[in-house]
């Protein structure tokens, strides 16, 4: 038996050496799921177009609302200024009515010397200039207030337009899901304590510029995606993940998607349960809760997909745990 064990050990060593010589690992490393996120290329294209269109309209809407608030505050100040300036012009008119305006003839008649006449004439010019400035101020303020009102009306029209665009993009995404066999309303994963962490907002650039992808050691990923998975790690989600993947469609070959394993003992293995399922629930919730800070395009987990336009919807995939997303959480970002 000792000789048999020695022969077995020798064979194992030789096999390991042979694998090393031809560049293959003696034990297979964890690999990312090889599916295309369980859907068709048409579905992924529709979701990508619809969701990016929705988010663009949402950003425009939010910017318009902010601009409207600024204009409204500006208009309120202008209207307060108008009250004050109108009262000042009223006082000038009242004084002129009671005392009569000082003209050149009265200035000359009331002067005892040529020097006095010049002084009174200068005073007349000063008064006229002051009154003229007050009147022009009033007119300018009225014009500015009118422009602010027009600008507010324009922002309201823009907001109405963007709301319509968002509704159309929402319908586009949900129609694509239904045509692929999903799209029913879903509740999403239960809220867990691990989902409460707040991610730092992304402020970097775009483009698939980080080479190679640190997770797969090939291809590239975008700065936004790198930021997104680092934020998850900082929040305690440290099980294996893989991002760039060639030979598939969707966001993986563009460096804008990651797959997060949920079971450290069975990387991308069977359907998650127990602690692994809870880990996936919390990770999915983490990305949903921080979607606007990180630029999340969509999240897929356990036969459900989360979209910024529609929330959680059922997601059809076939046929194993990878395609059904029951062994990993999928994240796609907008850029």
The residue behind tokens 């459900």 is 304
Same-domain pairing of 203 and 98: no
From the CB of residue 228, how many other CB atoms can be counted at a distance below 10 Å? 25
Same-domain pairing of 218 and 138: no
- Residues 219, 185: contact at Cβ < 8 Å? no
Same-domain pairing of 200 and 250: yes
Domain boundary among the residues 163, 179, 195 is at 179
Residue 125 pLDDT grade (very low, low, confident, very high; cuts 50, 70, 90): low
- Average pLDDT of the chain, as a whole number: 82
Tell me what pLDDT residue 36 has.
52
Tell me what pLDDT residue 193 has.
67
Question: How many structural domains are present in the chain?
Answer: 2
In a domain, 22, yes or no: no
For residue 85, the enclosing domain spans: 58-179
Tell me what pLDDT residue 12 has.
40
The residue behind tokens 């002067």 is 111
Same-domain pairing of 310 and 206: yes
Higher pLDDT pick, 1 / 119: 119
Same-domain pairing of 196 and 320: yes
- Residues 335, 224: contact at Cβ < 8 Å? yes
Tell me what pLDDT residue 26 has.
35
d(CA 164, CA 180): 25
- Residues 244, 218: contact at Cβ < 8 Å? yes
Strand partners, 259: 242, 330
Asked whether the predicted pLDDT for residue 2 surpasses 60, the reply is no
Tell me what pLDDT residue 101 has.
52
| Average pLDDT over every residue of 220-238 | 97
Same-domain pairing of 251 and 151: no
Shortest CA distance to 189 belongs to which of 306, 37, 330, 310?
306
Question: What percent of the chain has a predicted confidence (pLDDT) above 90?
Answer: 61
Q: Which of 19-23, 62-66, 171-175 has the lowest mean pLDDT?
A: 19-23
| Average pLDDT over every residue of 117-123 | 53
| Average pLDDT over every residue of 175-192 | 90
Residue 20 pLDDT grade (very low, low, confident, very high; cuts 50, 70, 90): very low
């Amino acid at each position: 038996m000792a000789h048999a064990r020695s022969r077995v050990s020798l064979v194992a060593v030789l096999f390991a050496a042979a694998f090393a010589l031809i560049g293959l690992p003696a034990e297979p490393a964890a690999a990312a799921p090889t599916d295309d996120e369980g859907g068709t290329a048409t579905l992924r294209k529709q979701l990508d177009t619809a969701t990016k269109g929705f988010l663009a309209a949402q950003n425009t809407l939010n910017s318009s609302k902010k601009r409207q608030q600024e204009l409204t505050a500006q208009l309120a100040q202008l209207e307060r200024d108008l009250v004050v300036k109108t009262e000042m012009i009223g006082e000038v008119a009242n004084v002129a009515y009671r005392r009569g305006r000082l003209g050149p003839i009265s200035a000359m008649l009331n002067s005892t010397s040529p020097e006095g006449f010049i002084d009174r004439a200068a005073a007349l010019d000063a008064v006229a200039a002051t009154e003229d400035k007050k009147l022009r101020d009033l007119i300018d303020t009225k014009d500015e207030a009118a422009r602010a009102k027009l600008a507010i009306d324009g922002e309201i029209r823009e907001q109405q337009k963007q709301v319509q665009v968002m509704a159309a993009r929402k319908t586009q995404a949900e129609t694509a899901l239904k045509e692929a066999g999903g799209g029913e309303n879903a509740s999403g994963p239960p809220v867990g304590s691990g989902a409460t962490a707040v991610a730092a907002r992304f402020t970097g650039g775009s483009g698939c510029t980080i080479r190679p992808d640190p997770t797969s050691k090939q291809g590239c990923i975008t700065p936004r995606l790198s930021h997104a998975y680092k934020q998850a790690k900082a929040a305690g989600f440290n099980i294996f993940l893989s991002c760039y993947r060639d030979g598939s469609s969707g966001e993986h070959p563009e460096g804008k998607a990651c797959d997060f394993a949920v079971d450290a003992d069975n990387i991308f293995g069977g359907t998650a349960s127990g602690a692994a399922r809870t880990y996936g629930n919390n990770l999915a919730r983490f990305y949903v809760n921080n979607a606007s800070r990180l630029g999340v395009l969509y999240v897929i987990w356990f036969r459900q997909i989360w979209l910024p336009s529609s929330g959680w919807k059922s997601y059809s995939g076939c046929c194993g745990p990878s395609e059904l997303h029951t062994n990993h959480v999928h994240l796609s970002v907008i850029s």
